[in-house]
Amino acid sequence: MPRRILKLYSILSAFVLCGALLYASAASAELAPQSSRAGGVSISVQPVEVSAGATTWKFKLVLDTHSGSLGDDLARTATLVDGTGKPHAALGWEGDPAGGHHRSGVLTFKAPSPPPEGLELRIVRNGEAAPRVFRWNLK
């Protein structure tokens, strides 16, 4: 009898572990870094903190160019759009100041409530016809 219980426990543990691994890989795939290249400027975005329990959401950005200067005021030109289409202005930018060919930092937003099923980060750049758009599914 004890061997049967041990075997059953081992099988159940394996199922739980597989489920946790599948959930973790799906969550990380949904929140994978994204990048956009246009007009000689590349922008990479990685959600850093977008959990349901967080009061602020954070996104790590990296901007690179070899022509011109990166003078974007990202706290002013970036908008988080929740699943209902409601825009949320950035609370701030912590990172490299405007200018130069390479910038990185973190954009912070107030976390939408209730947490949306998906989100979109829009970055408007001077001289570009359309905003750069980065989308993730959260559920």
pLDDT in tens, 124-134: 999 899 999 99
Which amino acid is located at 23 in the chain? Y
Whole-model pTM: value is 0.77
**In sequence order, which residues have a C-beta less than 8 Å from that of residue 28 and are 6 or more positions away?**
none
Domain of 24 in residue numbering reads as 1-30
pLDDT of residue 31: 84
Could you tell me if 41 and 21 lie in one domain? no
Domain count, the chain: 2
Could you tell me if 10 and 38 lie in one domain? no
Spatial CA neighbour of 77 closest among 45, 127, 124, 131: 124
Percent of the chain at pLDDT > 90 equals: 69
